[in-house]
Structure 1
Amino acid sequence: MSSSEWANDQTLFASLTGGQAVIDWFGFCPRFHDASLERLEVVNGNVLLAIHAFRMTDELDQHRRFICDRHAIVTLKMIGVSGIRLHGSAVSIIFDLKIRRLPADEAASNWETCAAPVKGDIELTFDTSMGLYGEIYTKELEFELQPMPE
């Protein structure tokens, strides 16, 4: 299913370790539009995805550009990864990041080298404005928030 066919599960996002802190920092459940991918690690069946995110306000600076505040490094730690599909280049600007519980088992025929993700796994999908995009399926997902000086 295309990621455009479903919406971010805000209840799930808030219930994950560190999820409510991320929502509180930005003032809403972020989709990380225009965030930059800072780090991606795949180690022993786990994935770490670190992104530089911010909040875009409706205020303009002297050059008539939107003022961005609330800069932070948001790290998504995925434990027990059951599937990964990534495409594109390493330099990446995220267009939209979504999280939900997988509503049904993935077709095993789509996963030739591993067992397919199953119903109840967490699906993290991100589209790109430039660079890397794809899906990661995991048993557990945690957030870590590191505010940055402005």
Structure 2
Amino acid sequence: MTTESMLHDIPGGKAVVEWFGRAPRFHDANLLELTFSGKGAGLLRIHAWNMTNEVDSKGYFVLEKHATVTLAFQGVSSIECADFDMVPGIIFELEITRAGEHFRIEWSASYGVNGVVTAKKVQIGLTPGKPD
């Protein structure tokens, strides 16, 4: 299953697809926070947006639909991270798949932490606008 179809199976995922108008790849998104507790819970907080084909007066692509997307994990059974001390970071790509009855969230970084989290449950929160 693709990340887009997975988002429809995760509580809060459909709102993310509706906000961005598609399933985001989170390319160049800012990884703001990555935390885990000893009780099998964790979260990934990401500042994401849509990049348009327009450029501004400085030659930068115009970004729209800014939002903070939070992936909250329960029943975490596996965590693999490299460069964990480099948060915040910049995501190159993020993918959500199934691994049996668990969700597998894997991301690579342009800068900062790379990782894979396997969890029994995932819930997604969306806060429109740029983060504080």
| Same fold, TM-score > 0.5, yes or no | yes
Percent identity reads 37
SS of equivalent to 2:7:
helix
| Greater shift in the superposed pair: 122-131 or 85-94 | 85-94
Gaps of 5+ in 1: 1-6, 103-118
In 1: Cα distance, 2:46 partner to 2:105 partner: 14
| Greater shift in the superposed pair: 31-40 or 125-134 | 31-40
2:61 to 60, 66, 75: 66
| Structure 2 residue 11 is the aligned partner of structure 1 residue 54 | no
Corresponding position of 1:110: none
The alignment's TM-score, normalised by the length of structure 1, stands at: 0.81
Corresponding position of 2:3: 9
In 2: Cα distance, 1:8 partner to 1:91 partner: 26
Alpha-carbon distance, 1:132 to partner: 0.2
> More strand per residue: 1 or 2?
2
In 1: Cα distance, 2:114 partner to 2:2 partner: 16
> Map of 1:116-127 to 2, 5 A cutoff?
119-127=100-108
Name which one, 1 or 2, has greater alpha-carbon Rg: 1
Corresponding position of 1:42: 36
Q: What are the superposed Cα offsets for residues 37-85 of structure 1, whole Å, 9 maximum, x if unpaired?
A: 1111112211111011111011111122110011111000011001000
Does the 8 A contact of 2:3 with 2:23 survive in 1? no
**One-letter code of the match for 1:27?**
G
SS of equivalent to 2:5:
helix
The alignment's TM-score, normalised by the length of structure 2, stands at: 0.91
**One-letter code of the match for 1:40?**
L
**One-letter code of the match for 1:101?**
R
| Structure 2 residue 67 is the aligned partner of structure 1 residue 86 | no
- RMSD across aligned positions (CA): 1.5
Alpha-carbon distance, 1:95 to partner: 0.3
SS of equivalent to 2:116:
strand
**One-letter code of the match for 1:139?**
K
List, as ranges, runs of 4+ consecutive aligned residues in structure 1 with deviation greater than 2 Å: none
